[in-house]
Amino acid sequence: MKQLYIKQKVFSLSGKFTIKDQQEKDVYYVEGSFMQIPKTFSIMNTSRDEVALVTKKAFSFLPKFFVEVNGQEVLVIKKEFSFLKARYTIDAAGIEVHGNWWDMDFEVLRHGEVVGKVSKEWFTWGDSYKVQILDDEMETIIIALVVAIDCVKADQAAASSAATT
């Protein structure tokens, strides 16, 4: 089992952060497109090769986020129409998320088998997540999923604060 840690820098306008292993070595680099349409997050390995891309679909009625790994679309996160609380669904072939993914406490399953676990690290400055990889083959997809969910949450928070001002 491999453990990775995602810690975003609070107030980072560029949307750049790193994903580290247990020895605090950089394993992945994530760079967001600031003030660009469509909004994207590129996930790169230590050689700076892009291994995954999260894209927010521009100009859609309800927000939709696409996740590509190695050039192939693997999942879509979309907001469902609802009057009370925001509801999102994750569409992916054979991949399910069980638990409270809105609070970053969930398991990732592929064909019913747990391949990864994500939990929020409390009492830290900024958002920090511990990601346990139980299937090395799914590592990039799990990392991309966590980045995509965090992007959805940031988008929702921005929409909520804009609505109250």
Give the pTM. Answer: 0.82
The pairing of beta strand 26-32 with beta strand 40-44: antiparallel
The class level of CATH for 2-164 reads mainly beta
DSSP state of 132: E
Who's near 111: CB < 8 A, 6+ residues apart?
Answer: 94
How do the pLDDT tens digits run along the chain, 165 residues long?
899 988 765 445 557 888 999 898 999 999 887 667 778 889 999 999 999 999 988 766 777 889 999 889 988 988 777 666 666 778 887 888 888 877 888 999 999 999 999 998 766 556 688 999 999 999 999 998 888 887 777 777 766 666 665
- How distant, in Å, are the alpha carbons of 30, 62, 109 from that of 144? 10, 21, 14
Report pLDDT digits (tens) over 74-121: 889 887 776 666 667 788 878 888 888 778 889 999 999 999 999 987
- Phi first, then psi: give them for residue 6, nearest 5 degrees: -110, 120
Domain ranges of the chain: 2-164
Long-range (24+ apart) CB contacts under 8 A made by 122-129 are 124/7, 125/10, 126/7, 126/8, 126/9, 126/10, 127/6, 127/7, 127/8, 128/5, 128/6, 128/7, 128/8, 129/5, 129/6, 129/7, 129/104
- How distant, in Å, are the alpha carbons of 52, 105, 139 from that of 93? 17, 21, 16
Who's near 31: CB < 8 A, 6+ residues apart?
Answer: 14, 15, 16, 41, 42, 44
Who's near 136: CB < 8 A, 6+ residues apart?
Answer: 2
Q: Degrees (nearest 5) of the Cα angle 11, 31, 92?
A: 110
